[in-house]
Amino acid sequence: MIKKKEKINTGFAQDCNNDHGISPDGKMLAISNNDSIIGSRIYTLPIEGGLPNLIIKAGSSYWYGWSPDGESLVYCAERGGNYDIYRINFASGEEHRLTYTEGLDDGPDYSFSGRQIYFNSVRTGSMQIWRMDADGSNQEQLSNDGFNDWFPHPSPDSKWFAFVRHALIDNKE
């Protein structure tokens, strides 16, 4: 049975980007909404729609992953001119920086166990897939294939992950 598409009421959050997702229990939606002055910020709201609740006050912040237990979010954020991976726990409301490298660290997503976070990083020259423990420790590169690899999403057994691959373009003549 095909259901009719319906627009979800996101209240004042009318400039949402493509960074959004559903909580593990299916009751909440996380969105990234652009504020013309501050930049993108992260909100949650009921899955059926309603008034967004501001989760990440600082911009620019882009949602990417919800922990399997529903207690925290991981996201990419620009702080001090650099984009890194951050985590916020709903109970404490404190932002925790997980990566500290120059360049872009982006696209974090939790493993199904919640013990690891997969992400992409340009720290070795081209965008590659990396993995770290949920506290930011033990960062290791998983891909190194001559392509730009983005947005890893691990399988339930963490043996595989789906990702986006872009060919490297060499403009040298």
DSSP secondary structure, 127-159, as one string: -EEEEEETTS-S-EE---SSEEEEEEEE-TTSS
CATH of the domain at 152: 2.120.10.30
Evaluate if residue 2 carries a pLDDT over 80. no
CA distance 18 to 64: 10
**Per-residue pLDDT tens digits for 53-86:** 999 988 899 999 999 999 999 999 999 899 999 9
- pLDDT attached to residue 24: 95
Two tokens, residue 161: 């992950």
Return the SS3 of 2: coil
**Residue 6 within a domain:** no
CA distance 27 to 140: 33
Banded model confidence at residue 159, pLDDT cuts 50, 70, 90:
confident
- pLDDT attached to residue 173: 46
Range of the domain at 47: 16-167
Omega of the bond prior to 36 within 30 degrees of 0, cis? no
**Residue 52 within a domain:** yes
State pTM to two decimals: 0.90
Q: Which residues contact 21 (CB under 8 A, 6 or more apart)?
A: 29, 30, 63, 64, 65, 66
**Residue 40 within a domain:** yes
